[in-house]
A and B are shown apart, each in its own frame.
Chain A
Amino acid sequence: MFATLGDRIAYTLLGLSPDGSLGPAVQFFVMDTAKIFAMLVAVIYVMGLLRAMISPERVREYVRGKPKGLARSLAVGLGAVTPFCSCSSVPLFIGFVEAGIPLGVTFSFLIASPMINEVAVVLLVGILGWKLTALYVASGLAVAYVGGIAMERLRPERWVAGYVWQIQMGETAHPKLDNSLAGRHRYAVGEVREIVGRIWKWVLLGIGVGALFHGYVPQAWVSEYLAGGEWWSVPAAVLIGVPLYANATGVIPVAEAMLAKEVAIGTVLALMMAIAALSLPEMLILRKVLHWRALAYYAAILAGAFVLVGWGFNLLA
């Protein structure tokens, strides 16, 4: 259905040729814009109706006071179902510290949260299939778990801004929710508006990059340099992905275009994770609570983990 729409607009309406570069790029762009936004709205609405998203205040309550291993597993698992806005990462960080949650566990949460969320997972399954989704989610969870442990080894307490330890947090507020159907509907519409309003730019950007790759990167070049999982392609993908940022949904069209041209799967996964997990805006915000040294280690540990994941999958494939 979406492919047909893309064909109609690119080839029939605009009269572009399916054999050139521009034609397929436009077709991809139209198709993915329609497909991804339709899915995004539907999925967020249903999740909102079911109230399937957990607030960070709840996560803090579940995780606090638990033994470390359990706390970390919970932080990683709940991080994957908590909608994340980098604008909240400072209060979130402080709230976790104030609750006595170990810093390593907090880092695990900060890694998992932007990388995996249930909305992106449904879209991943719909567009790239359950197999790739399972690999992405499993390696994302593993990186978050291990990445938090690695950060802890560095004794990051010394890099936390002094004022963070002073803050006293009040009783966690849980506003009463209107659980009638009308209330749920309003909440779901609000979530759609809020989340789509926040991420549409990243998604369009991702579709644009995917479209350019689809239309302009020659298949022969991909086959020669990227299809066999050449060792350097993974670190190169991570180096490109770390400074780039698109949210987890925006990464999907990029991966879609790359997989269609048979780029090695480990390379694609490494790029996806590097783009989704690390972003300059989030780093700048976290700078308010952490010394830049901690952030540099954070970025380096994650980059290293993504390279290992990419190599691992390329070897297996």
Chain B
Amino acid sequence: MAREIKVLGSGCRNCQNTAALIEEVAAEQGVAIDLQKVEETAEIMRYGVMSTPGVVVDGEVVHAGGVPDRKSVAQWLEAAQ
């Protein structure tokens, strides 16, 4: 089943970079993901995140405040399999 991943962010460049990075790593690892961008401030805040971009994997906030590094992304996707 595809893993549900959400990128929280107001559409800033770092948020787009984060989404692109996750897609890239998922493709490399052959992991099926369902990637959504959450851009509504109210929605972002509901996750308890104030510093964007943030990343939510299967409902759990795994990252906030900057573009994550490649290795962390790989770990999240691995753990999600």
The interface residues of chain A lying within 8 Å CB-to-CB of B67 are 190, 193-194
| Contact call A167/B52, Cβ cutoff below 8 A | no
| Contact call A87/B47, Cβ cutoff below 8 A | no
| Contact call B62/A169, Cβ cutoff below 8 A | no
The interface residues of chain B lying within 8 Å CB-to-CB of A170 are 45-48
Docked complex Cα distance between A55 and B50 (Å): 9
Interface residues of A in 133-185 (CB under 8 A from B): 163, 166-173, 175-176, 178
| Contact call B66/A92, Cβ cutoff below 8 A | no
Number of chain A residues whose Cβ lies closer than 8 Å to a Cβ of chain B: 32
| A173-B12 contact, Cβ under 8 Å, with A55-B51, A88-B50, A91-B49 | no
Is A214 an interface position by the 8 A CB rule? no
| Contact call B45/A87, Cβ cutoff below 8 A | no
Is A57 an interface position by the 8 A CB rule? yes
The interface residues of chain B lying within 8 Å CB-to-CB of A172 are 48, 50
Instruction: Select one of B10, B46, B51 contacting A169, CB under 8 A.
Output: B46
Is A90 an interface position by the 8 A CB rule? yes
Docked complex Cα distance between A273 and B72 (Å): 38
Closest A residue to B45 by beta carbon equals: A169
| A171-B41 contact, Cβ under 8 Å, with A55-B65, A90-B10, A191-B66 | no
The interface residues of chain B lying within 8 Å CB-to-CB of A178 are 72
| Contact call A91/B12, Cβ cutoff below 8 A | no
The interface residues of chain B lying within 8 Å CB-to-CB of A163 are 42
Docked complex Cα distance between A46 and B63 (Å): 21
Docked complex Cα distance between A145 and B73 (Å): 40
Is A186 an interface position by the 8 A CB rule? yes
Please report the number of residue pairs spanning A and B whose Cβ atoms sit closer than 8 angstroms.
Answer: 83
| Contact call B69/A190, Cβ cutoff below 8 A | yes
The interface residues of chain B lying within 8 Å CB-to-CB of A193 are 67
Is A24 an interface position by the 8 A CB rule? no
The interface residues of chain A lying within 8 Å CB-to-CB of B46 are 168-170
| Closest-CB distance, A261 to chain B (whole angstroms) | 38
| A57-B50 contact, Cβ under 8 Å, with A91-B45, A173-B61, A190-B69 | yes
Closest B residue to A189 by beta carbon equals: B69
Docked complex Cα distance between A175 and B54 (Å): 10
| Closest-CB distance, B70 to chain A (whole angstroms) | 9
| Closest-CB distance, B6 to chain A (whole angstroms) | 12
Interface residues of A in 112-126 (CB under 8 A from B): none
| Contact call B64/A55, Cβ cutoff below 8 A | yes
| A98-B45 contact, Cβ under 8 Å, with A173-B61, A194-B67 | yes
| Closest-CB distance, B32 to chain A (whole angstroms) | 23
| Closest-CB distance, B16 to chain A (whole angstroms) | 12
Interface residues of B in 18-70 (CB under 8 A from A): 41-42, 44-52, 54, 61-69
Docked complex Cα distance between A258 and B54 (Å): 41
Interface residues of A in 62-121 (CB under 8 A from B): 85, 87-88, 90-92, 94-95, 98
Closest 4 CB pairs of A and B: A173-B61, A170-B48, A173-B48, A95-B50
Q: List 18 A-B contacts (CB under 8 A).
A: A55-B50, A55-B64, A87-B14, A90-B10, A91-B44, A91-B51, A91-B52, A163-B42, A166-B42, A167-B42, A168-B42, A168-B46, A169-B48, A170-B47, A173-B64, A175-B61, A189-B69, A190-B69
Chain B residues proximal to chain A, CB less than 8 Å: 10, 12, 14, 41-42, 44-52, 54, 61-69, 71-72
